[in-house]
A and B are shown apart, each in its own frame.
Chain A
Amino acid sequence: MSKILTASVVTAAMVAGGASADGLSGTLRIISDMSNPTPRAVITQLAEDFDAMHPDLTVELEVIDREGWKSQIRNALSANPPDVVNWYAANRMAPYVNAGLFMDISDMYANGDLPGLDAVKGALTIDGKQWGVPYSYYQWGIYYREDIFNELGLSEPATFDEEIANCEKIIASGRKCYSIGSKFLWTAGGWFDYLNMRTNGFDFHMQLARGEVPWTDDRVRATFANWRKLIDMGAYIDDHQSYNWQDALPFVVNGEATAYLIGNFAVPHLRSAGMTDAQLDFYQFPQIGDYPMGEDAPTDTFHIPSGAENVEAAKAFLQFVTSAEVQTAINGPEGLGQLPINANSQVAQDEFIVQGFDMLSNNATGGIAQFFDRDFPAEMAALGMEGLQEFMVFPDNLEDILNRLESSRQRIY
């Protein structure tokens, strides 16, 4: 990993025309939430390399627990803010943008400092300005047990009817179709995203996220009706409200459930639990209505707080992280194992990354969403996901849930 990075850094430095000569000095303070083992190694290496490239600059890196950072960021941004922080794209950054805590870096996009980022620019745009840069993103989709599908004579479904037909056979074989752990709610958000994007189209889903459509709309009900088909046939594992997403992995590994709608970040976990690429495969969430496919592909980002002291160095760091070479390296199989955001970088030769990249480039013509809790405003997302979990356990409560969400929608937007 480190060798690859260093090599690419050297190239990056050469491409940038001897970046060390641009006179960056002082201290660059980075607070990162890349606290899981692999991401931590990536950010540590990035900080070290950037430090080595600029002899007069000291890079100070502080890595904070990824979950903890979600509530600590507001304090970090208001009191003695660092120069660079991690966060998420789309509506998730709206509170900080609206409070003036993130720096407007539209000039970097405008003057060509960030080549190759045009495709992902939209997710970082609020009010026509850009507020940060992405560094990685990943696809969502259905990860399934290829060996069990073969054993039952099933093939990857392309439509919802095929999906249900498959599921009937899986249930008949004494297994569950889908594993899910909904204790922390967001996994249910993934199911809703896909069912709603497929039932009503990407544009409708975004209208709902922006609060332009009532939750009691018949089209929303149609989404839940489709979901209910799966719930009523017993497609999901029991007691999922007691598990987190990692707890739900063994169901797939043990073959008690054949598939899992989740992000690509689950793959390393499944592999380390002993799943081989022959046992595991991926397919795009099947088509329901006649709409172009929309996909969830959450983007992780870097931002410069508006109170940053070393803005020059911070901007240089964002440029460095998003450069094609560094992107290829940090998203590679020995790095994050995700998709690079720079159009000029190379995608790792990994079964799932390749499939995900192909899906997002060629068959996501409907649009790319960020994820339920990043597209909906924070409060709506929290109440919404709670309602979704309740629906999955007690589908009969739907009417009550929708009315509740609708009255929240009227208050929040």
Chain B
Amino acid sequence: MTVSPALFLLPGVLFFAVYVIIPIIQSFYISAFEWNGLGELSEQGEYVGLRNYQELFTDRAFEVSLWNNVKWLVLYLLAIPAGLFIALFLNQTVAGIRIYKSLFFFPFVLSQVVVGLVFSWFYLPREGLLNAIISFFGFEPVNILGDPTLATYGIIAAGLWPQTAYCMILYLTGLNAVDPEQVEAGRLDRAKGWRMLWYVILPQLRPATFIAFVVTIIGALRSFDMISVMTNGGPFGSTRVLSFYMFEKALSEYGFRMGYGSAIAVVLFLIMLVFILYFLWTMVQDERASRN
């Protein structure tokens, strides 16, 4: 009786251990070494203790990357209200509504790399559509991706486009599950507009909001591909985030510092851990509530 659940769990546990748990432990271990990734760690690596972490604290590029991660996390959350708004707007029965819905959902189907490319063309300093529009209204042209103070925001805006679509689809599904009787009851009590949304609809959308929050946070922390395509971390490193910086230091063309890269990965992991623990805690709470 006790053996069969363990057996069923075994393949999953095994793969999870090999591909997730053990690499995490290895990252912690490697981060205590200075190693260029060539040859064996035990032979070529030099044990340096916490020196990589000490260096992180004085590394301005790391500081910039960390702040950019914060910007991504905060601004990416805008996808949730934007997605909700579009979902509410599209949640009606008009002829051809399915077409409109799929058009709004379209950006999410595109690869991040394609979105990044399209937006980098949109932002081009001379030929870009954006500058065509703003110069039509008589403003000076801007080079968003070439300006270290604006570039990160430019990439986040590009990222919000598919992310909003994702949140929208989550909310559209959620809206299908909204209990019409409760809405009816709310109507009888003369609730409408914002009050109806806030007190009747939104509480019922709580599961959708939770999922939207989870995928948006994860999306913000995985912003690697867009940065790589749109600015390659530039101009002069101003758009790096931790994952990109880790790649640059450990794995890229000029990156030969596995230990330092691992130290960055560990910091990123600790940031993610905060969210992961929160998600797990919420899910366990929900599970308990539904059992009682």
Is B251 positioned at the interface, with any CB of A under 8 Å from its CB?
A: yes
What are the residues of chain B within 8 A of A242 when measuring CB–CB?
124-125, 143, 145-146, 235
What are the residues of chain B within 8 A of A241 when measuring CB–CB?
143, 146, 234-236
Q: Which of A77, A238, A379, A387 contacts B257 (CB 8 A)?
A: A379
Does A99 lie within 8 Å of B251, measured CB to CB?
no
Residue-by-residue, is B49-89 near A (CB-CB < 8 Å gives 1, otherwise 0)? 00000010000100000000000000000000000000000
Q: How far is the CA of A95 from the CA of B253 in the complex (A)?
A: 12
Q: Residue of A at shortest CB range from B124?
A: A242
What are the residues of chain A within 8 A of B38 when measuring CB–CB?
74, 77-78, 95-96, 98-99, 101
What are the residues of chain A within 8 A of B254 when measuring CB–CB?
373, 378-379, 381-382
Please report which residues of chain A, range 363-413, place their CB below 8 angstroms from some CB of chain B when the two chains form the complex. Answer: 373, 378-379, 381-382, 386-387, 389-390, 393, 404, 411
Q: Residue of A at shortest CB range from B143?
A: A239
Is A100 positioned at the interface, with any CB of B under 8 Å from its CB?
A: yes
What are the residues of chain A within 8 A of B126 when measuring CB–CB?
239
Does A390 lie within 8 Å of B36, measured CB to CB?
no
Please report which residues of chain B, range 92-137, place their CB below 8 angstroms from some CB of chain A when the two chains form the complex. Answer: 124-126
Q: How far is the CA of A390 from the CA of B236 in the complex (A)?
A: 6
Is A265 positioned at the interface, with any CB of B under 8 Å from its CB?
A: no
Q: Residue of B at shortest CB range from A381?
A: B254
Does A386 lie within 8 Å of B236, measured CB to CB?
yes
Residue-by-residue, is A104-122 near B (CB-CB < 8 Å gives 1, otherwise 0)? 0000000000000000000
Q: How far is the CA of A183 from the CA of B38 in the complex (A)?
A: 29
Q: How far does the Cβ of A59 sit from chain B's closest Cβ, in whole Å?
A: 27
Does B235 lie within 8 Å of A71, measured CB to CB?
no
Residue-by-residue, is A62-85 near B (CB-CB < 8 Å gives 1, otherwise 0)? 000001001100100110000000
With contacts A185-B234, A242-B146, A389-B234 known, is A70 near B253, CB below 8 A? yes
What are the residues of chain B within 8 A of A185 when measuring CB–CB?
234
Q: How far does the Cβ of A241 sit from chain B's closest Cβ, in whole Å?
A: 4
Q: How far is the CA of A80 from the CA of B53 in the complex (A)?
A: 34
Q: Which of B39, B124, B234, B253 contacts A71 (CB 8 A)?
A: B253
Q: How far is the CA of A144 from the CA of B99 in the complex (A)?
A: 53
Please report which residues of chain A, range 153-187, place their CB below 8 angstroms from some CB of chain B when the two chains form the complex. Answer: 183-185
Does B143 lie within 8 Å of A99, measured CB to CB?
no
Q: Which of A67, A100, A101, A390 contacts B235 (CB 8 A)?
A: A390
Interface SS of chain B: helix, strand, loop or mixed?
loop
Q: How far does the Cβ of B62 sit from chain A's closest Cβ, in whole Å?
A: 13
Q: How far does the Cβ of B245 sit from chain A's closest Cβ, in whole Å?
A: 12
Q: What's the interface size class on A, roughly?
A: 20 to 34
Does A99 lie within 8 Å of B234, measured CB to CB?
no
What are the residues of chain A within 8 A of B37 when measuring CB–CB?
74
Q: Residue of B at shortest CB range from A404?
A: B60
Does A99 lie within 8 Å of B36, measured CB to CB?
yes
Q: How far does the Cβ of B52 sit from chain A's closest Cβ, in whole Å?
A: 12
With contacts A99-B44, A242-B145, A382-B248 known, is A387 near B236, CB below 8 A? yes
Please report which residues of chain B, range 200-238, place their CB below 8 angstroms from some CB of chain A when the two chains form the complex. Answer: 231-232, 234-237
Q: Residue of B at shortest CB range from A186?
A: B253
Q: Residue of A at shortest CB range from B235?
A: A241
Q: How far does the Cβ of A183 sit from chain B's closest Cβ, in whole Å?
A: 6
Q: How far does the Cβ of A34 sit from chain B's closest Cβ, in whole Å?
A: 17
Q: How far does the Cβ of A376 sit from chain B's closest Cβ, in whole Å?
A: 10
Please report which residues of chain B, range 20-45, place their CB below 8 angstroms from some CB of chain A when the two chains form the complex. Answer: 36-39, 44
With contacts A100-B39, A242-B146 known, is A71 near B251, CB below 8 A? yes
Does A378 lie within 8 Å of B256, measured CB to CB?
yes
What are the residues of chain A within 8 A of B39 when measuring CB–CB?
78, 99-101
Does A239 lie within 8 Å of B255, measured CB to CB?
no
Q: How far does the Cβ of B1 sit from chain A's closest Cβ, in whole Å?
A: 44
Please report which residues of chain A, range 26-67, place their CB below 8 angstroms from some CB of chain B when the two chains form the complex. Answer: 67
What are the residues of chain A within 8 A of B252 when measuring CB–CB?
70-71
Residue from the set B236, B237, B256 with the largest chain A CB neighbour count within 10 Å: B236
Does A183 lie within 8 Å of B257, measured CB to CB?
no
Q: How far is the CA of A180 from the CA of B200 in the complex (A)?
A: 59
Q: How far does the Cβ of A182 sit from chain B's closest Cβ, in whole Å?
A: 8
Q: Residue of A at shortest CB range from B251?
A: A71
What are the residues of chain A within 8 A of B125 when measuring CB–CB?
238-239, 242
Q: How far does the Cβ of A38 sit from chain B's closest Cβ, in whole Å?
A: 23
Residue from the set B39, B44, B234, B253 with the largest chain A CB neighbour count within 10 Å: B253
Can you list 11 residue pairs at the A/B interface with Cβ under 8 Å?
A70-B252, A71-B253, A71-B255, A74-B37, A77-B38, A99-B36, A183-B232, A239-B146, A241-B234, A242-B124, A411-B55
List 8 extra interface pairs beyond A70-B253, A71-B255, A74-B38, CB under 8 A: A71-B253, A95-B36, A184-B232, A238-B125, A238-B143, A373-B254, A378-B256, A379-B257
The 3 closest A-B pairs by CB, nearest first: A99-B38, A382-B254, A239-B125
